[in-house]
Amino acid sequence: MARHRPQPRIYVALDAAHEGRVRGLLGALDPSLCGIKIGKEAFTALGPKAIEWARQRGFPVFLDLKFHDIPNTVAQACRAAADLDVALVNVHASGGRRMLEAAREAIGGAEDAPALIAVTVLTSMEDADLAEVGVSDGAEAQVERLARLTAAAGLDGVVCSAREASAMRALFPGEGGLVVTPGVRPAGSARDDQRRVVTPSEALANGATSLVIGRPITAAGDPGRALEAIVAEL
C-alpha cells in the first residue's frame, strides 16, 4: 500500500457556496481537531481558493469531487488535485479497474502525496435505489465488490457507510489503510438526506479511520463548540 499523509479523525464538510460562509466556518473551527472536506458545492462556486483558505488556517483538506470518467481524464484530475497540496482525494470505484489504476499512478506514492480512496456506495442509497440502477444484490454486496476492486488497484482505502467499516478495515489493514465514513450523525441529530447512518463513536468502533461530519457541526449555532463536543465523545 502506498505511503501518504496522515489523516485526521474528523473531516468537517464545508458544503457552502459563499466566501463569507466558508471563511466564517474556517474561522470558527480548530485545525488541531479536524480537517476540512471541500466538495462539489464549494469547489464549483469558489474553486481552488476554498482549498487555499483552509490550508492557510492549517487544516488538512479532503478534496471530495468523486472523479468518475475515462482513465486519462481521471488521472489528469488527480494529478491536478495533488498539485493543490490536499491531503485526501477520492474517485468512484464504479469507474472500473483501469480508471482506478490510472488515478493511483497519477497520485504517486511519495510520503507527502495525498491519500487516494474510492467511493463504494453513497450513504444516501439503499437497496431499493441500487435495484433501480441494475444492482440487484444490495448495498452490502456492492460495497464489498467495489472495495475488493479498489484494493486490487492499489488505492489507500474506501469511502463507505460505517456499517460496512469493519469488513472494509480487513481489506485495508494497518496504519496506511483508510476507511472514511460519511453519514455520521451524533445521537439525536437529524438524519437529513442520509440513510445508512451511525454515531461517531459507533463509526470508530466499527473500524472507521476518518469520519466525515457536516451539518451537525456546520449548521450548529456554535460550530466550534459542536466540533469540540463530538471530539469529547470520541
The C-alpha cell at 142 is: 456492492
Q: What is the mean pLDDT of the chain?
A: 91
71 is in an annotated binding site: yes
123 is in an annotated binding site: yes
H or E stretch covering 20: helix 19-28
Task: Compute φ and ψ for 181, nearest 5 degrees.
Answer: -120, 110
Q: Which residue has the higher pLDDT, 1 or 156?
A: 156
pLDDT band at 194 (very low <50, low <70, confident <90, very high): very low
Task: Compute φ and ψ for 63, nearest 5 degrees.
Answer: -85, 105
Residue 186 pLDDT: 79
The C-alpha cell at 217 is: 457541526
Residue 112 pLDDT: 86
Alpha carbons 153 and 107: distance in angstroms, whole number? 13
The C-alpha cell at 144 is: 464489498
Q: How many residues does the chain have?
A: 234
Position 123 pLDDT exceeds 80: no
The C-alpha cell at 147 is: 472495495
Neighbours of 33 (CB within 10 A): 16
Give the chain's domains with CATH numbers. 10-233 (3.20.20.70)
Residue 144 pLDDT: 92
Residue 196 pLDDT: 47
b/e for 98-115, b at 16 or more Cβ within 10 A? Answer: ebbbbbbebbbeeeebbb
Q: What is the CA radius of gyration of the chain?
A: 17
Residue 190 pLDDT: 53
Residue 188 pLDDT: 56
15 is in an annotated binding site: yes
H or E stretch covering 181: strand 178-181
Residue 187 pLDDT: 66
Position 191 pLDDT exceeds 80: no
pLDDT band at 122 (very low <50, low <70, confident <90, very high): confident
Active-site hit among 3, 66, 79, 195:
66
73 is in an annotated binding site: yes
Residue 52 pLDDT: 97
Residue 2 pLDDT: 47
Alpha carbons 217 and 219: distance in angstroms, whole number? 6
Q: Which residue has the higher pLDDT, 29 or 175?
A: 29
12 bridge partner residues? 36, 213
% of the chain surpassing 90 pLDDT: 77
Position 198 pLDDT exceeds 90: no
Alpha carbons 193 and 196: distance in angstroms, whole number? 10
Q: Are 50 and 38 in contact (CB under 8 A)?
A: yes
Is 40 one of the catalytic residues? no
Task: Compute φ and ψ for 199, nearest 5 degrees.
Answer: -80, 165
Position 91 pLDDT exceeds 90: yes
pLDDT band at 162 (very low <50, low <70, confident <90, very high): confident
Neighbours of 135 (CB within 10 A): 17
**pLDDT (average), residues 169-182:** 92
Residue 197 pLDDT: 60
Residue 164 pLDDT: 84
60 is in an annotated binding site: no
